[in-house]
Amino acid sequence: MTEPKPPSHQADPERIREQAAMRAPLPKRFYEGVTLREDPAGWSVLLDGRPIKTPGKRPLALPSQQLAEAVAAEWRAQEKIIDPGTMPMTRIANTAIEAVSGQMQEVASDVVAFAGSDLLCYRAAGPEALVARQSAAWDPIVQWVASELGARFILAQGVMPIEQPAAALERLAEAVQPLNAFQLSGLHVATTLTGSALLALAVLRQRLTPEEAWATAHIDEDYQIELWGPDEEAAERRAYRWDEMQAACVYLRGGI
């Protein structure tokens, strides 16, 4: 890892897609009431008595009342228009039902592959202050994973790829295997947002709160902000991603 540089002001492709979606005409709110109903398939969210369906027209059924209520709260919060950008709980539910449920092994393998290049395993060579911050925040999680799962990951300085022990990745795969489609969707989103399957796992096992995991994932970014000052566009993007992270963690922890 090299000396921190000023935040980049180049366009972020992901953000460009998000902004394009935001510019598209949004549908008007067409319903008055939002209620819940327990069905054989799970908990449904009803708009004026009619159950919501996914974009692919599949029933949007949640495995718990808590998750259904969190989705319902997003629909209640819509005012004159329906803005998907403010509905991460609904988006993750759609993904779990339409995509993840049909390819559980592939998604679990993707999380494990992420751990092969986990954020917490790549350390800065300097400056000393950043090295100390990374060590203080990241070492306890790496040690906890070793103790909790018997998964011992190798740490390295710099950005050159390192191969993690197969045994460590196998232990992680075993930890992911029991998750249902909604938990696995939350785990995948949390992993991609933080750059760390180990942090997502720590939230799953309640070793970290979502807030703690988010702060831990942003050690480098926060250090750069201290050096170079905040960037408005980066701050906006981070706030949007934090909303996604919070929703992912609700699914990850089963509605807790």
CATH number of the domain encompassing residue 60: 3.30.2180.10
Size of the chain, expressed as the number of residues it contains = 256
For position 70, what pLDDT does the model report? Answer: 97
Spatial separation of the C-alpha atoms in residues 21 and 83, rounded to whole Å: 10
Number of other CB atoms surrounding residue 250 within 10 Å? 21
Q: Are 248 and 213 in contact (CB under 8 A)?
A: no
Share of the chain above pLDDT 70, in %: 90
For residue 84, pLDDT over 80 is answered with yes
The answer to whether residue 14 is domain-embedded is no
**Range of 225's domain?**
103-252
Mean pLDDT of 152-169: 94
For position 159, what pLDDT does the model report? Answer: 80
Distances (CA, A) of 173 to 3, 113, 166, 203: 34, 10, 10, 16
Helices (H), the chain: 13-23, 65-77, 88-98, 104-115, 128-149, 166-176, 181-194, 197-204, 210-217, 219-228, 232-252
The answer to whether residue 246 is domain-embedded is yes
Spatial separation of the C-alpha atoms in residues 92 and 14, rounded to whole Å: 17
**Banded pLDDT at 162 (limits 50, 70, 90):** very high
Cβ-count burial of 171 within 10 angstroms (0-12 exposed, 13-18 middle, 19+ buried)? buried
Mean pLDDT of 5-13: 43
**Which CATH number does the domain housing residue 228 bear?**
1.10.3580.10
Mean pLDDT of 234-254: 95
Cβ-count burial of 220 within 10 angstroms (0-12 exposed, 13-18 middle, 19+ buried)? middle
For residue 5, pLDDT over 60 is answered with no
SS3 144: helix
For position 158, what pLDDT does the model report? Answer: 83
If asked whether residues 187 and 89 sit together in one domain, one would say no
For position 9, what pLDDT does the model report? Answer: 38
Mean pLDDT of 99-116: 97
Spatial separation of the C-alpha atoms in residues 71 and 169, rounded to whole Å: 33
Distance from CA of residue 211 to its chain's centroid?
Answer: 12
If asked whether residues 77 and 163 sit together in one domain, one would say no
If asked whether residues 110 and 57 sit together in one domain, one would say no
For residue 95, pLDDT over 80 is answered with yes
